[in-house]
């Protein structure tokens, strides 16, 4: 059985294509059941996010399955195949396992280390479980992907450094103040960037939020979202001394805070540290404020430098993560190979043993005068014939299993030649007693 992936992502398709191929998260039953209804597809999960749409599937005929999945995506979304196909990729076997482990570990994300993708894959798996489009293989596979992602986050620092301007501000504030639990933040301007940064501060324990804006109603609305207090724009300077952290993002053509005003503010604060974050362009705060003791001023370029430095650190950690993923890929690929090989060998030996026993009983029943010694000799001879006849095919399958190679061709050929229906494998690892030993020859 092969695991395969067919899909597209931010690396292969522009947003207008990704939008057209996206699946509605509240209506996954129909597409999932259509996918597992395809002739070559046995199990399936559909992952659909703003940056990627991927179908994870398993099949005994991966080439046919990939072709059918490409056709499904085009037909389901009413997109001509010749328009969609250039944006699609497909992975099979070890490549597919490697790809999904990297995606779950956020090594393939637009921002390496972002945590959202793991939750999105878990949600996709939840839908597939609910609508019964996953079985033994994808159940095991995706749980393994989740554990790999957890291991990457535990053993590396891939997600420890802020890589957005808004969160970089929080990280810097922590370095300045140590803790944010007793601190007050003031927003000057109520735009999207200010709101996002404020949300990060609130999520990290800030105690109070003050909001001012030229439109007071907008200030009131945003303050209410954060359980804070709105301040009239004409009066905000009078309240600045209360703020440990100030975020500014207005559309003013020049400085709204100059050095002299901030000298007065820091004096009223009795020289307690103050962190100013100016994310406006043009800037809101006179850069000479940085010369004032206990004032720490960062503009958007300063924050971008922090972000770029943190991205470099994440890329260093990503190398460690890639090594973890490769190790886990090898282990899962071996389990997947064993999943087919062991039951096939067991089924092959059982079939020949059933034939041997049936023919042996027919023969012995016609010679009732035979003694125990003669009967044991005939039984030993038939067991030896079976062992020798099966030695080469079983040795080849065992070697393939032990080398972690691809046994699909051999497994499918043996099953077809001998009409085998192997027993369902256990969902856990292959047990040590795998039934691969030769038939005992009684002396």
Structure tokens, 96: 């597919």
Do 319 and 291 form a contact (C-beta atoms < 8 A)?
no
Phi, psi for residue 3 in degrees, rounded to 5:
-95, 140
Spatial distance between the Cα atoms of 331 and 392, rounded to a whole number of angstroms: 26
Spatial distance between the Cα atoms of 70 and 7, rounded to a whole number of angstroms: 8
Q: 170 or 3, which is more confident?
A: 3
Asked if the model's pLDDT at residue 443 lies above 80, the reply is: no
DSSP assignments along 6-64, one per residue: EEEETTTS-HHHHHHH---TT--HHHHHHHHTSTT-SEEEEEE-SSEEEEEEEES-HHH
- Whether the bond between 92 and the residue before it is cis, its omega within 30 degrees of 0, is no
Spatial distance between the Cα atoms of 162 and 113, rounded to a whole number of angstroms: 10
Spatial distance between the Cα atoms of 21 and 124, rounded to a whole number of angstroms: 16
Do 202 and 181 form a contact (C-beta atoms < 8 A)?
no
Asked if the model's pLDDT at residue 40 lies above 80, the reply is: yes
Handedness of CA 321, 323, 327, 330 (dihedral sign): positive
Give the best-scoring range by mean pLDDT among 101-105, 164-168, 368-372: 101-105
Q: How many CB atoms lie within 10 A of CB 423?
A: 11
Per the annotation, the verdict on 66 as an active-site residue is no
pLDDT for position 423: 58
Q: Between the CA of residue 265 and those of 91, 227, 243, what are the distances in Å?
A: 60, 25, 10
Q: 437 or 278, which is more confident?
A: 278
Spatial distance between the Cα atoms of 60 and 392, rounded to a whole number of angstroms: 24
Structure tokens, 48: 């659909």
pLDDT for position 430: 39
Do 55 and 7 form a contact (C-beta atoms < 8 A)?
yes
pLDDT for position 96: 95
Phi, psi for residue 22 in degrees, rounded to 5:
-65, 150
Asked if the model's pLDDT at residue 229 lies above 70, the reply is: yes
What does the DSSP 8-state code read for residue 405?
A: -
Q: Between the CA of residue 91 and those of 113, 294, 381, what are the distances in Å?
A: 22, 55, 49
Mean of all residue pLDDT scores within the chain: 86
Chain segment 383-431, per-residue pLDDT in tens? 999 999 998 888 888 777 665 555 667 777 888 888 886 555 444 443 3
Domains and CATH numbers, the chain: 2-160 (3.30.460.30), 165-307 (3.40.50.720), 333-418 (no CATH)
Chain segment 331-360, per-residue pLDDT in tens? 887 777 667 777 788 888 889 999 999 999
177-207 in b/e form (b: 16+ CB < 10 A) is beebeebbbbbbbbbebbbbbbebbbebebe
Asked if the model's pLDDT at residue 77 lies above 80, the reply is: yes
pLDDT for position 418: 86
Do 4 and 45 form a contact (C-beta atoms < 8 A)?
no
Chain segment 302-317, per-residue pLDDT in tens? 887 877 777 787 778 8
pLDDT for position 191: 74
Q: What is the mean pLDDT of residues 289-305?
A: 89
> Comparing 115-119, 211-215, 408-412, which segment has the lowest mean pLDDT?
408-412
pLDDT for position 408: 64
Structure tokens, 244: 């440990």
Residue where the block lists tokens 């440990």: 244
Q: 230 or 116, which is more confident?
A: 230
Structure tokens, 368: 């009732």
Spatial distance between the Cα atoms of 123 and 14, rounded to a whole number of angstroms: 24
Do 262 and 292 form a contact (C-beta atoms < 8 A)?
yes
Do 382 and 309 form a contact (C-beta atoms < 8 A)?
no
pLDDT for position 422: 58
pLDDT for position 231: 95
50, 92, 400, 407: the active-site residue = 50
* pTM passes above 0.95: no
Of 354, 379, 380, the residue nearest 364 (C-alpha): 379
What does the DSSP 8-state code read for residue 266?
A: H
Q: Between the CA of residue 115 and those of 104, 140, 179, 325, 382, what are the distances in Å?
A: 9, 22, 23, 17, 61
Structure tokens, 162: 């802020």
């Amino acid at each position: 059985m092969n695991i395969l992936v067919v899909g597209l992502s931010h690396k292969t398709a522009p947003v207008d294509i990704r939008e057209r191929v996206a699946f509605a998260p509240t209506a996954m039953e129909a597409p999932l059941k259509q996918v597992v209804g395809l002739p070559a597809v046995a199990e399936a999960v559909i992952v659909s996010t703003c940056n990627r749409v991927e179908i994870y599937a398993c099949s005994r005929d991966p080439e046919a399955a990939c072709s059918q999945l490409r056709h499904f995506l085009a037909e389901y979304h009413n997109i001509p195949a010749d328009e969609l196909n250039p944006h699609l990729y497909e992975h099979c076997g070890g490549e597919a396992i490697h790809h999904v482990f990297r995606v779950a570990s956020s090594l393939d994300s637009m921002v390496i280390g972002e945590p959202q993708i793991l939750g999105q894959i878990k949600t996709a798996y939840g839908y597939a479980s609910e609508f019964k489009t996953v079985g033994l293989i994808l159940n095991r596979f995706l749980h393994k992907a989740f554990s790999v992602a957890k291991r990457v986050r535990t053993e590396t620092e891939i997600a420890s450094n802020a890589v957005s301007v808004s969160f970089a501000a929080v990280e810097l504030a922590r370095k300045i103040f140590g803790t944010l639990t007793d601190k007050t933040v003031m927003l000057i301007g109520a735009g999207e960037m200010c709101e996002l940064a404020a949300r990060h501060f609130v999520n990290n324990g800030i105690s109070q939020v003050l909001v001012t804006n030229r439109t007071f109603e907008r200030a009131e609305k945003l303050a209410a979202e954060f359980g804070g207090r709105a301040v009239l724009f004409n009066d905000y300077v009078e309240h600045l001394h209360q703020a440990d952290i100030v975020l500014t993002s207005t559309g003013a053509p020049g400085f709204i805070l100059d050095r002299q005003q901030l000298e007065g503010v820091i004096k009223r604060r009795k020289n307690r540290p103050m962190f100013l974050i100016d994310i406006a362009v043009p800037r809101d705060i006179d850069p000479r404020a940085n010369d004032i003791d206990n004032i720490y001023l960062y503009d958007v370029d300063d924050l971008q430098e922090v972000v770029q430095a943190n991205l470099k650190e994440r890329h260093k950690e990503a190398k460690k993560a890639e090594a973890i993923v490769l190790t886990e890929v090898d282990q899962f690929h071996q389990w997947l190979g064993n999943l087919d090989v062991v039951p096939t060998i067991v089924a092959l030996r059982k079939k020949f043993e059933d034939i041997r026993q049936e023919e042996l009983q027919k023969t012995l029943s016609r010679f009732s005068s035979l003694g125990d010694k003669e009967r044991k000799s005939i039984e030993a001879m038939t067991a030896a014939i079976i062992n020798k006849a099966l030695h080469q095919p079983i040795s080849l399958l065992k070697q393939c299993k032990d080398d972690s190679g691809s046994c699909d061709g051999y497994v499918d050929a043996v099953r077809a030649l001998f009409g085998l229906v192997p027993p369902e494998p256990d969902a856990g690892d292959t047990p040590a007693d795998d039934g691969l030993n030769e038939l005992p020859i009684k002396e």
